[in-house]
Amino acid sequence: MADPRTEPVAVRARARAWGWRHSARKAWAVRGVDLDVAPGERVLLLGPSGSGKSTLLAGLAGLLDPGTGPDDGTGDEEGALLLDGVPARTARVDGVRAGQARSGLLLQDPLAQTVLARCGDDVAFGLENHAVPPGRIWERVDTALAGVAFPYGRGHLTSRLSGGERQRLALAGVLALRPGLLLLDEPTAMLDPDGAVLLRETVTAVLAATGATCVLVEHRVGPWLDLVDRVVVLEPGGGVVADGTPDDVLRARGAALAAAGVWVPGHLPVAGRLAPAKIRTDRPDPGSAPGTGSTTADHGAGDVLLEARGVAVRRPGRAVSAVADVDLDLHAGRTTCVVGPNGAGKSSLALALAGLVAPAAGTVTARGRLADGVRSPHPAAWRPRELVRRIGTVFQEPQHQFVAATAADELAVGPRRTGVPEAETARRVDELLTRLRLGHLARANPFTLSGGEQRRLSVATVLATRPGLLVLDEPTFGQDSRTWAELVDLLADLVAGGTGVVAVTHDERLVEALADDVLRLAQGRPAPVPVGAA
């Protein structure tokens, strides 16, 4: 028999002139939102990066706290944001007390939703907090894990998960609560193509079975159009500027949305400074063998910067290598993209290439100008100052590399540590803030930026030191089409100037636009598929 306390009841959501401003920020993250979402409706929320989509989801989830005084909240709120007529924050607290999840939010960053050491316990955590009877908890946990095709059992350690595997676990934790309002923030951004299809199928099945209301944020619109009833468009600082059926909104505003950065079907982004030979319109089969399909570049390789031979890398606490037997040369003025399914070891390999972990087997050796001035040719043995001047690393989770209180100070950290004069440091900071559309956020705390803004800032922090080699883990995660094109242009300029780039990515368009070589890793195989032309 179903437990009436934890069965979903579709929620009505309503915003009236609602806005939110993060603490210590002058600009409002979102403002003037008027919106009604009927019980059981499925709404796709669109808008350029920084338009407040994630902030609105967090508000609907009851996670924003204005406090009761000027110094005890996390920001300022105006207007009303209601779930079934109750303020969203009150609805969340009352739902926990009543044993029923009014809303459930899947965040952009799955690491932020990982709480406990074992996967089963992590899914059970929310159920325990919602007072689900103990006898029902593990059945709900197993059902949720199976529903997202989670590849491991309850006892698997969360520390051993890849980013995409962690995203599936986070979704299982949300679905186990059976919320009446399902809030999804870029749910497929960290997933490989097969995983993204599976997640959409899972969400579709859950909504069909439960009738729950759903508000979804996605930059890439096409794959979700069959699921949603309605599209709502937000404008930075301007609230709702379009609201209607998917066909009506995209027909009337498709070109304008694309120009504003939304990934609208039929409107592809243009990376203006890429050489024509680097742009192609054909889409090779993602499962094709390396070396097949069109090539993305015909220029020759520059000097070898980094050489990997027989490299194996282990995740912490595991005896079995995440990836093994990698042979790879990274060249100046050339881009290598590392692709493959979640859990194949892409991020682990990136850490070894970046000198941040020593390989469990084999060698990673700097060559040519990358090795000038250091006593050891192995990056894992370099001192931090030696490493940051030579190899710049962008982590999968942007927050892992933020150490300063403002975006401008964050960009200045690397140059200052490497002895760049203050005037030159300031010039680099201003240039990068402008180039990546972050100038209006120069004094903002990096942790209050949107996911897409954080990603651009994390890329900019490594560019500020002008290293000879860039190691990027999902560099285009969370970007609208306009900022995606700007990032691609910037990377293309760096490659043209002789910088070597290796990018771990699920973004097929990035591979098409930039890759000179592709390394395809296969999950469950001891060795990668060899490098081939992209």
Per-residue model confidence as pLDDT tens digits over 19-45: 999 887 888 889 999 999 999 999 999
Residue 300 has pLDDT above 50, yes or no: no
CA–CA separation, 307 and 316 (whole Å): 24
| Residue carrying the six token digits 């066909």 | 247
**pLDDT tens-digit series, residues 109-152:** 777 788 999 999 999 999 988 888 888 899 999 988 987 878 89
Nearest to 365 by CA among 308, 301, 312, 302: 308
Sheet containing strand 361-366, edge to edge, reads 323-331, 304-313, 361-366
Q: 297-533: what fold? A: Rossmann fold (3.40.50)
Average predicted confidence (pLDDT) for the chain: 84
Nearest to 179 by CA among 115, 126, 109, 114: 126
Number of C-beta neighbours around residue 67 at 10 A: 13
What is the per-residue pLDDT for 274?
46
Mean of pLDDT values over 286-302: 38
Residue 276 DSSP symbol: G
Least confident span in 37-51, 275-289, 302-316, 379-393 = 275-289
pTM: 0.75
CA–CA separation, 212 and 231 (whole Å): 17
Residue 486 has pLDDT above 90, yes or no: no
CA-based Rg of the chain, rounded to a whole angstrom?
23
Portions of the chain given CATH number 3.40.50.300: 13-260, 297-533
User: In this structure, what token pair is assigned to residue 244?
Assistant: 């209607």
Nearest to 181 by CA among 66, 56, 80: 56
Question: Predicted confidence band at 192 (pLDDT cuts at 50, 70, 90)?
Answer: confident
| 349 vs 112: which has the higher pLDDT | 349
Nearest to 488 by CA among 436, 446, 525, 421: 436
Does the domain formed by 13-260 have CATH 3.40.50.300? yes
Residue 501 has pLDDT above 90, yes or no: yes
Question: Quick check: 406 and 24 in contact, CB under 8 A?
Answer: no
